[in-house]
Amino acid sequence: MSSKITPANTYIVVLIALLVLTVLTVGVSFVPLQPIGHVVAGLSIAALKATLVVLIFMHALHSPRITWCVIVASIAWVLILFSLTYADYLTRGSLPQMPGH
Amino acid sequence: MLDSAKSAWFPPEASTTAAHVDLLLYFLLAVCGSVGLLVAFLMIYFCIRYRRRPGAGRPARTHASHALEWFWTIVPFFIFMGIFVWGAVVYVDAYHAPPDSIPVYGIGKQWMWKFQHPEGQREINTLHVPLGRPVQVLLTSEDVIHSFFIPAFRVHMDVLPNRYTSVWFEATKPGEYHLFCSQYCGTNHAGMIGTVVVMEQADFESWLSLHAEGSLALEGRKVFLKYRCISCHSATAGARAPVLEGLYGNIARLNNGRSVVADDAYIRESILDPGAKIAAGWENIMPTFRGQISEEEIYALISYFRSLQRGETPRRVEEYPPPTSTPPINTTAPDSSATEGKSTAPKEP
Amino acid sequence: MSLRDTLFTQAEQKALFDHTFLARDRLEEQYASLPHQSETAAFGMWVFLATEVMFFGTLFVAVGAYWIFSPKTIERASLELNWVIGGINTVVLLVSSLMMVLAIHAAQLNRQREVFRYLVLTAGLGIAFLCFKALEYYLDYRENLIPGFKFDDAEWIARGVDASQLGYVKMFLFLYWTMTGFHAIHVTIGIGVVVVMAVLTRRGHFSAEYYSPLDVTGLYWHFVDIVWIFVFPTLYLLGTHTL
Amino acid sequence: MTIATLPLPASQPVEPPAEGSNYLNVSYGVVSWLLTKDHKRIAILYLISVTAMFLLGGLAISIVRLHLMTPQGTLVSADTYNRLFTMHGVIMVFFFLVPVAPAVLGNFCLPLMIGAKDLAFPRINLLSWYLYVIGGAWTLFAMLTEGVDTGWTFYAPYSSQATHYNVVPTLIGLVLAGFSSLFTGLNFIVTTHWLRAPGLTWFRLPIFVWAMYATSFISLLAVPVLAMALILLMLERLLHIGIFDPALGGDPLLFQHLFWFYSHPAVYIMILPGMGIVSEVIPCFARKSLFGYTFVAYSSLAIAFLSFLVWAHHMFVAGITLYAALVFSCLSFLVAVPSAIKVFNWTATLYKGSIAFETPMLFCLGFVALFTAGGLTGLFLATLGVDIHVHDTYFVIAHFHFIMVGGMVMAYMGGLHFWWPKMTGRMYSQWWSRLAALIIFVGFFLTFLPQFIVGYNGMPRRYYQYVPEFQVWNVLSSAGASILAVGYLLPLGYLLYSLRYGPRTGSNPWGATGLEWTTTSPPPRDNFAVTPIVVRGPYEYDTGKAQNEP
């Protein structure tokens, strides 16, 4: 529980930003891109939105340092799960399965 | 009497890989053994030397030395990295089959092993291999995951459904060795065992010609005609699909600008998932053969494409009878001969 | 007069209520002070949310893995999902998050009536989300998007998906149902908790000094929102839409 | 915190006001236990349920070992054998090894060690126990009706399509048990952060608390992945649509990745508490402060972190790519470094000590020996070149039993014997308990050393029959197992006997430091009459200023 009270206007501004980003992410999906382009755009905007929610709505900005550690750890561990699993998937088929290779 | 009964402590060492693995094992035993003995000795020595004696006071404080702590942090680290590199070298070697490997096609199913040799021999739960020649076993499963394990050769590979994996080995001792399934696969998992028979080269040659009804490539040719592959993959002008001559082992260019090596897995994928990778310059018109063609037939096709050289594609007349003689089999790597064929014959089966 | 009122007197109801799981308005023995207890509770919720990140993360890993295998097919399947309802639901959840945070803002200022009002709005928007979700599921049902129950291979082949790639379509849709299903379960739980909080607020359990359960509920609600923020592009926006 | 109002100093043992009132006799009746919020009572509830599970899992493997005396394996049928080893694995891993140290010893000791009155969320703690019991009931239901034959690894597509046994109820049980350990971990993390006694800084925490912290950390981040993987597997089995079965277009390796993302760190969930226990017991009986405290503390966290980066070393021959194999092998060696640090520091703690060989110490010395052997053989498995031979053989079985049984169960026994007087206020027979420690140590070596040899000779795991040349090693192993069984049954006898007839002990029978020994045995309901204030590190044995020297 934070002792500092954020003014209500801040929350409304953040909501407007979130709505704008939502419109933006839908808008990007109408731009013809490679599959990877849609993934990168969608996830980047989502990350931005999630950051706003965590920092302002969830009061992470005014939370103790240990809360930050929890946030960072959860992001880091999801990234571990992704990166090391995909260390396998992204290298599939890179070596031919036949003699001499 | 199986060879492996000779020694109860170590399994027979019957392949080139086995020698590498065992050497690494001895090294690890020496390193880990000495560390283990050192720790054990120190613990026993301390326990005796510093046992509590009646009337003894409180022991003095020993101040931990940071240098010592860093010493036994960093030294093990470098030893471990050394072991890692050596292990990786053995693994990479066991991963890459030599170019002149003889192909053998293996299928695991609950609960048996089936093998096909390029010369047409088929076996169940027995695998005959020649002495002193590298052999690559291509593996797939018809149901669940199995694992192909020959302790005497120190080779081990999981056998997955809908996918190819492979192992290779070069036998160094004639004899009979165990073949185990080591990935749990159901009720009779323990019964899914077979025998690997290593024969002298000459014996192997005569065994190959003993019962074979015709080469695997010839059988693949029949499959090729049976499924009407020829009606599109023909060598005539105006064919609807690329001709497959000289394809195997060469670079196939795809219509997305990439290129792949046309290996066993690529051929299998192109038969079952034709839309996954499409040869450059061709339309995606091929239907999938998933559910129609068996793993054995795919192996036969692979063997056929391996042997298929320029000008050998059958004529498109579908009633045309297959030749009675065995087409020549190219067991060496089809590399240099196909450089010109490559540009004209990107493939799509 | 409700059944409960005929069975129990007001005093008995109050006593029963005070012993329920969520009515923690007292200082527990292991804490030194109310702020200590509140901060611990908030930290506990953060740690729990970290586990939830991994829980949902697993599903995202699965979607990503099959996207790596067959990006074009997954993209094609994604285009069939109803992104309009998905988008409306994104907005609904974002606004509900604002309502939640305004409820806590009001609690900080000890405006209990406002707290109650915002909590009701939060729960109402949550219910709206579930209604839209139900509508979307119904439309999915009509459009044969339920692998294993109502799914038509021929339709997908007509849409240009290779027959051999249909497995990816089915797996993507399976993950769509699992992902949105688990998210909907989380929303439902969230609505339940928010309603309980609203009732507690009405009964005067909270004050500017102690509103820890509200704070913790807020964290959970915002997290559910964040999950949707990632679900939306991951499932609905993988392909190029056309008007 | 109300530091200012507390009397100073609190290093003397403080007797509770009501003499004789403790957590055991503060209230009576089944309901007072089943609805308790007291972490100590919940620990006892866990102790009873975990012991029952251990006996069941042990019974299953006894039949398995008896069956393996002959190569033909004629005692039970193949299907029964497969269900028995699955029962052994599932119960021992998910219902014994994972919960045993955190839920029993951690639950009991952690609040005492940090001077707290209870865990942060006592109701959630009780909920954990109920989840464990309900999960256990589901699993037992599945095991005892039709059984499950997939092995504890549940590899798809065998588990999702091929087997016709009771997979789904088992998986439900495992998901529930997983959440039980998740909530325990959550409680421990929050408690350690927020409820430490005044003056108890991070580097005055006992290593056991560090180990519990690291264990909880792993549970929190790994269990959800397992839960989701098992739920997906369940759905695939029930609905015949899913993402793991190759026949449906899926990739079976995805299940293995997700499964081992939990199950490799889970190995450290099992062993880290053991390391913590040993770090308490060895300094106490050697009368030395723990050598290299900060290194041991940080190595717990390092293990917790690195354990997440190595999972695919279970999959070196499963069909992952060469690149992935190289990355995971390299990372696997890294996790060996902090384990090595711990072993060296425990050994160095003995140096110039004053070593007494009480029962807990015997168990813990046994732990160090067996853990060292198990850890060193782990290097063989992390080495790519050797793993291609010994993967999925009895070599692997022997290795992880050295870590989990030789390591964890020895350490758990050590911890149980160490804190038994604190939990019950009674002392057990020294003679019998030392005998048990010796029997378990000898029996263990006899059981599992032959399995290394038969494994390197190529005997695959999960074989209900085997080729005749493996028989001699299997007979030796089975013989050892019977000795081991005696060793595990003995404590059941003398510990239960001690409950009634054992001599009463004072608050600190071992002369140990640590806050838990400053309160009475058994502790009062609120642990400490007055919240203690900590002014020293945890292991001040050798400076003459122990916190509570009798």
CA distance A84 to chain C (A): 11
Q: What backbone phi and psi angles, to 5 degrees, belong to B264?
A: -60, -45
Residues D546, D548: Cα–Cα separation, whole Å: 5
Angle, vertex CA B95, rays to CA B89 and CA B96, nearest 5: 100
- Tally of CB atoms within 10 A around D15: 12
Of all residues in chain C, what percent carry a pLDDT higher than 90? 60
- Overall average pLDDT of the D351-357 stretch: 90
Q: Which of D149, D160, D155 minimizes the C-alpha distance to D241?
A: D160
Residues A85 and A42 in one domain: no
A43 with A11, same domain: the answer is yes
Q: Which residues of C touch D122 (CB under 8 A)?
A: 28, 30
Question: Using the beta-carbon criterion (under 8 Å), do A35 and C42 form an inter-chain contact?
Answer: no
**Structure-block tokens of residue C95:** 């606004």
- The answer to whether residue A31 is domain-embedded is yes
- Residue A84 with chain D: CB contacts under 8 Å: 309, 311-312, 324, 327-328
Task: Please name which of C153, C151, C140 lies closest in space to residue C235, comparing C-alpha atoms.
Answer: C140
Is D2 a domain residue?
no
Q: How many domains does chain A have?
A: 2
Same domain for A42 and A85, yes or no, is no
D52 pLDDT above the threshold of 80 = yes
Average pLDDT over residues D295-304: 92
Residue D491 CA to its chain's centroid (Å): 18
Span D249-280, pLDDT tens digits: 889 999 999 999 999 999 999 999 999 999 99
Per-residue pLDDT band for D543 (boundaries 50, 70, 90) equals low
CA distances from D72 to B8, B319, D50, D88, D102 (A): 19, 54, 34, 21, 41
Rounded distance between C-alpha atoms, residue D342 and residue B24, angstroms:
26
Q: Is beta strand C145-146 parallel, antiparallel or unpaired with respect to C150-151?
A: antiparallel
Helix (H) or strand (E) holding D499: helix D471-501
**Quick one: A7 and A52 in the same domain?**
yes
Establish if A100 belongs to a structural domain: no
Distance (Å, whole) CA C108 – CA C42: 15
- Model confidence at D185: pLDDT above 90: yes
> ∠ CA C197-C199-C200 to the nearest 5 degrees?
65
Report residue B269 as tokens: 């994928």
Residues A30 and A51 in one domain: yes
Torsion angles phi and psi, residue D263, rounded to 5: -75, -20
pLDDT of A93 above 90: no
**Same domain, yes or no: A29 and A70:** no
Give the gap in angstroms from C-alpha D14 to the nearest C-alpha of chain B.
24
Number of C-beta neighbours around residue B311 at 10 A: 9
Which token pair is C48?
């729990």
Instruction: State the alpha helices, DSSP H only, in D159-316.
Output: 167-194, 207-239, 252-286, 293-306
Of A18, A58, A78, the CB nearest to C94: A18
Which residues on A lie below 8 Å from C53 (Cβ)? 74-75, 77-78
Domain annotation covers residue A99: no
Q: What's CA B302's distance to the chain center, in Å?
A: 15
pLDDT at C104 over 60: yes
Using an 8 Å CB-CB cutoff, list chain C residues near D126. none
Q: Rounded to an integer, what distance in angstroms lies between the CA atom of residue B100 and that of residue B104?
A: 13
Tell if the CB–CB gap between D123 and C47 is shorter than 8 Å.
no
CA distance between the termini of chain B: 47
D144 is a domain residue? yes
Instruction: Give the residue numbers spanning the domain of A80.
Output: 64-94
Name chain C contacts of A54, Cβ cutoff 8 Å.
222, 226
Q: Could you tell me what percentage of chain D is helix, strand and coil, using 3-state DSSP and rounding each to the nearest 5?
A: 70, 0, 30
B11 and D457 within 8 Å at the Cβ level: the answer is yes
Owner of token pair 């997906």: D232
Question: Is 80 exceeded by the pLDDT of residue D100?
Answer: yes
Question: To the nearest whole number, what is the mean pLDDT of chain C?
Answer: 88
B231 touches chain D (CB under 8 A): no
> Taking a contact as any Cβ pair under 8 Å apart, which residues of chain A between 40 and 99 contact chain D?
66, 73-74, 77, 80-81, 84-85, 87-88, 91-92, 94-95
Neighbours of D70 (CB within 10 A): 16
Q: Band of the pLDDT at D19, cuts 50, 70, 90?
A: low
Digit-coded pLDDT (tens) for D365-404: 999 999 999 999 999 999 999 999 999 999 999 999 999 9
Peptide bond into D157 cis (omega under 30): yes
How large is the C-alpha radius of gyration of chain D?
A: 23
Chains within contact range of chain D (3+ C-beta pairs < 8 Å) = A, B, C
Cα–Cα dist D275/D285, whole Å? 16
Distance from CA of A16 to the nearest CA of B (A): 41
CA D197/CA D519 separation, integer angstroms:
14
Which whole number is the average pLDDT over C27-44? 84
Q: What is the largest CA-CA distance in chain B?
A: 105
**Tokens at residue B168, please?**
């290779």
Closest CA to B154 of B179, B130, B131, B132: B179
Q: State how far the alpha carbon of D542 is from the alpha carbons of B44, D35, D537, in Å.
A: 21, 43, 12
Non-local CB neighbours of C215 within 8 Å, separated by 6+ positions: A1, C38, C41, C42, C104
Cross-strand partners of B156: B149
Instruction: Give the structural domain span for D450.
Output: 35-515
**Distance in angstroms (rounded) separating the CA atoms of residues D130 and A46:** 38
- Residue owning tokens 């599939």: A92
Residue B281 pLDDT: 82
Helix (H, G, I), strand (E, B) or coil at B147: strand
In a domain, A101, yes or no: no
Instruction: Out of B206-210, B336-340, C190-194, D144-148, give the one with best mean pLDDT.
Output: C190-194
Give the 3-state secondary structure percentages of chain C, helix then strand then coil, rounded to 5. 75, 0, 20
All residues at 6 or more sequence positions from C192 whose CB lies less than 8 Å from its CB, including other chains: none
Dihedral sign from CA coordinates of C111, C113, C115, C117: negative
Q: How many domains does chain D have?
A: 1
- pLDDT, averaged across chain D: 90
Q: Which residues of B178-208 are buried (b: 16+ CB within 10 A; e: fewer)?
A: bbbbbbbbbbbbbebbbbbbbbeeeebeebb
Q: Tell me, yes or no, if A84 comes closer than 8 A to chain C by beta carbon.
A: no
User: Are D494 and D108 a contacting pair, CB within 8 Å?
Assistant: no
State the pLDDT at residue D224.
95
Q: How far apart are alpha carbons D213 and D269 in whole angstroms?
A: 10
Answer whether residue A34 is part of any domain. yes
Contacts of D284 (CB under 8 A, 6+ apart): D360, D361, D418, D510, D511, D512, D513, D541
Alpha helices in D68-151 (DSSP H): 78-90, 98-99, 107-113, 122-145
What the block records as the tokens of D340 is 């090595």
> Distance between CA atoms of B281 and D345, rounded to whole angstroms?
67
Residues D193 and D495: their CA atoms lie apart, in Å, by 34
For C19-111, where are the alpha helices, taking DSSP H only? 34-69, 71-79, 83-108
ipTM score of the complex? Answer: 0.89
Is D507:D520 a contact under the CB 8 Å cutoff? yes
Chains in contact with C via at least 3 Cβ–Cβ pairs below 8 Å: A, B, D
- Is B269 buried (19+), middle (13-18) or exposed (0-12) by CB count in 10 A? buried
Set out the domains of chain B in order of their start, with CATH numbers: 102-211 (2.60.40.420), 216-344 (1.10.760.10)
Say yes or no: A53 and A69 in one domain. no
D456/B10 Cα distance (integer angstroms): 7
Mean pLDDT by 10 residues, chain B (349 residues): 56 91 93 93 92 81 82 91 93 89 92 91 92 93 93 93 91 94 92 93 88 82 85 80 83 82 86 83 83 89 86 65 51 39 38
CA of residue D304 relative to chain centroid, distance: 14
Q: Phi and psi of C64, rounded to 5°? A: -60, -40
pLDDT at C157 over 70: yes
DSSP conformational letter for B229: G
CB of D109 closer than 8 Å to CB of D60: no
User: Is residue B162 a contact partner of residue B273, using CB atoms and an 8 Å limit?
Assistant: no
Sequence-distant (6+) residues with CB within 8 A of B136 are: A98, A99, B97, B101, B102, B103, B104, B166, B167, B168
Q: Could you give the count of Cα atoms lying within 13 Å of D288 in the half-sphere of its Cβ?
A: 29
Q: Which long-range contacts (CB under 8 A, 24 or more apart) does D145-148 make?
A: D147/D80, D147/D83, D147/D86, D147/D87, D148/D83, D148/D86, D148/D87, D148/D90
**What is the chain D residue with the closest CA to C176?**
D242
pLDDT for D77 equals 92
Domains detected in chain C:
30-236 (1.20.120.80)
Give Cα separations from C10 to C16, C22, C202 (angstroms): 10, 19, 15
Percent with pLDDT over 70 in chain D: 95
pLDDT at B317: 54
Whether residue D179 contacts residue D127, with contact meaning beta carbons closer than 8 Å, is answered with no
Q: Report the CATH number that the domain containing residue D219 is assigned in CATH.
A: 1.20.210.10
Residue C150 is predicted with a pLDDT of: 87
Residues of chain C found within 8 Å of residue D2, distances taken between Cβ atoms: 32-33
